[in-house]
Amino acid sequence: MTLAPEGGAHQSTKTPSIGLEQPGCVSYEPAFALDAEWCLLAAMAQLGRPDGQSGYLRLSTRPVDQGLAAIPADPAARERPRRQVVAGAYALRRVSEPAVTLVTMGAVVTETLAATERLDALGAPADVVVVTSPGLLFRAVQARSGLD
């Protein structure tokens, strides 16, 4: 199976593992162009620092409607979403009473949002969380649990 012209090797389960399993490396798989920019800048900010880390960005050439990102136009209002993106995950869609939460990453965000429409029609509204860095998200959950 492939999502884009680069072929199945670029969408395999092994490539995310490369970024996740490298010691001292933060792996990102952004869904939107602005997410990619923020992740790249966060990775570059680590370069040359004694306590720095490497960065691994997994990208796709598959087109994703950038309007789905719903990024505020006001630069000050962008700071919170930026912090969440580089921290590992953020809520893309919130409903008042979700029946389920769908979690997505990278270029398949389009299918996830389409699934929310189908769920809405069935009376099961869904929140959507976009994971940008599974490693950072895992570390944050571990830290909150006192397991870091």
Distance CA 61, CA 107 (A): 9
Neighbours of 71 (CB within 10 A): 17
pLDDT tens string 56-90: 898 888 889 999 998 888 988 999 999 999 999 99
Tell me the domain boundaries of the chain: 8-144
Greatest Cα pair distance in the chain: 53
pLDDT tens string 34-59: 999 999 999 999 988 999 898 989 88
Mean pLDDT of 23-34: 91
Q: Write down the mean pLDDT value for the chain.
A: 88
pLDDT of residue 1: 37
HSE, CB side, 13 Å, CA atoms: give it for residue 9: 1
**Collapsing DSSP states into helix, strand and coil, what is residue 6?**
coil
CA angle (111, 75, 72) in 5-degree steps: 30
